Amino acid sequence: MTSVLLRTITNDEIETFWRDGVVCLRKVVNPDLLRSMEAPLAALFDTSEVADLSAMGDAIAKSGNDVQRGDVPLTGRGRFFAGVDHWREHDQFHFFACDSPMPEIAGAIMRSSTVRLWEDSVLAKEPGTIERTAWHQDLAYFHVEGNKVCTMWCPLDNVTSESGAVKFVAGSHLWPDVYQPNLFISSMVIPGTNGPAIPDIDAMEQSNECSVISFNTEPGDVTVHHGRTIHGAGPNTTQGFRRAISLRYCGDDTTYFTRAGAPLKAHHRHIVDGNPLHEDDCPTVWLAS
């Protein structure tokens, strides 16, 4: 298995990222790298390291609040798992986030000479998962400010719109607001957070007020979107898994910025608004040569 890029990131791909707020990089890493993460990811299921968002959705629905869902499948309902910061406890996840080609890709796309890791995340929808991923911005959950913040979405399976491919609002990274973060499977906002409510993207798309784009992907493809890009995903109506690892990286211009109510990480002990990210909190994972 090679741990280097299979090809060069093109200028057109970089320009696409900055124009649309998202780019899909085809066949950019060895698919075996993604396959090597299948067992480490599977080992997280049904442990305290991941959250069962389907169970959380049941609790939200029971309280009478909104949960974004598709139809319940006839063949059985799957679960939506999510977890963060596995790089801190597991060697395979540490390698994937810090020592694989991913940080170099982030540096090229963001035009950044330095890349720091904010977090990794696993996102897995079992066959028949009915939960949608609500429209949201990643930056709203992070205690940072800057234009060079991105998320890489790395599929471990072939992903289509039927299995829950991520949908992106093209150009939304250029919109002026950072919107109030929600509970990820619901439009309910996180209590104590600030910002305007996220717009009704579905209505805006129907009235041609915005353009929503998506990509069918396979292992070896990577999507990269800006921290301000609004995105979401549908349910998994197929009989296959939809597993992905997300990596959130920060570049040269990123500084700490406290966002009221946003989740805090125990290992982030050096947050001082306006300061550069601290090495102990957010390690440097790539430097331009």
Q: What is the DSSP string of 209-235?
A: SS-EEE--B-BTBEEEEETT--EEE--
Amino acid letter, 35:
R
Domains assigned to the chain: 11-262 (2.60.120.620)
165/217 Cα distance (integer angstroms): 8
Q: Is the pLDDT of residue 55 over 50?
A: yes
Q: How many of the other CB atoms lie within 10 Å of CB of 283?
A: 15
pTM for the full predicted model:
0.96
pLDDT attached to residue 1: 47
| CB 288, CB 174: distance < 8 Å | no
d(CA 163, CA 217): 11
3-state secondary structure of 13: helix
pLDDT value at position 3?
65
- Range with the lowest mean pLDDT among 11-25, 52-66, 128-142? 52-66
Q: What is the pLDDT averaged over residues 234-255? A: 97
Query: Whole-number mean pLDDT of the chain?
Result: 95
- The dihedral sign for the CA sequence 125, 153, 51, 149: negative
Q: Name the one residue in this structure whose structure tokens are 């299948």.
A: 38
Helix (H, G, I), strand (E, B) or coil at 90: coil
Report d(CA 172, CA 212) in Å as an integer. 10
Q: With 60 as the cut, is the pLDDT of residue 196 above it?
A: yes
- Within 8 A by CB and 6+ apart from 22, the residues are 16, 168, 170, 213, 223, 224, 225, 226, 229, 231
Distance of CA 255 to the CA centre of its chain: 20
Per-residue pLDDT reduced to its tens digit, 61-110: 888 888 899 877 767 789 999 999 999 999 999 999 999 999 999 999 99
pLDDT value at 289 more than 80: yes
- Nearest Cα to 103, choosing from 224, 210, 213? 224
